[in-house]
């Protein structure tokens, strides 16, 4: 039932932080809080070996746009935004939808993930992750 949440947590989250985040993401009462907390603590929760790009304006960088173009396949959306959460759409469409949302968004693809945290002063933290370690 929570396959995407489990895969994301097991592949991209630091080992010592997985259990709590997975509990929150798979618990309907805790899901919103879990995604919100993840958004505010993403840098400390993400496995740094899996981050291949990060930037406050990542979605505008040419190398990110090239990655999206090369990997334009269906991705699963995890978000507090009820109109997005659980949808499967092409990566290019999902990044556009994520850009329009004020909520944190996780896009889970085949071997990669994109994280857009909540906007904060100075920009919106964004991360592109690869299942393979650096």
Cβ pair 68, 95 in contact under 8 A: yes
pLDDT digits (tens, 9 = 90+) for 55-106: 998 999 999 999 999 999 999 999 988 899 999 999 999 999 999 988 899 9
| H or E element at residue 67 | helix 62-70
How remote is the C-alpha of 67 from its chain's centroid? 15
Residue spans of the domains in the chain: they are: 3-130
User: For 1, what's the count of Cα atoms within 13 Å in the CB-facing half-sphere?
Assistant: 5
The answer to pTM > 0.75 is: yes
Tokens 């299942």: give the residue.
131
Cβ pair 118, 105 in contact under 8 A: no
pLDDT digits (tens, 9 = 90+) for 33-49: 889 888 888 989 999 99
Cβ pair 113, 107 in contact under 8 A: yes
């Amino acid at each position: 039932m929570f396959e995407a949440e489990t895969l994301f947590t097991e592949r991209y989250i630091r080992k010592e932080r997985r259990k709590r985040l997975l509990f929150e993401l798979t618990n309907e009462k805790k899901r919103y809080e879990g995604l919100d907390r993840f958004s505010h603590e993403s840098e400390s929760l993400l496995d740094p070996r899996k981050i291949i790009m990060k930037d406050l304006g990542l979605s505008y960088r040419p190398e990110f746009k090239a990655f999206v173009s090369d990997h334009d396949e269906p991705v699963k959306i995890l978000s507090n935004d009820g109109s997005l959460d659980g949808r499967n759409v092409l990566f290019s469409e999902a990044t556009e939808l994520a850009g329009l949302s004020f909520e944190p968004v996780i896009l889970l693809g085949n071997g990669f993930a994109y994280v857009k945290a909540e906007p904060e002063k100075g920009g919106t933290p964004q991360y592109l992750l690869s299942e393979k370690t650096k």
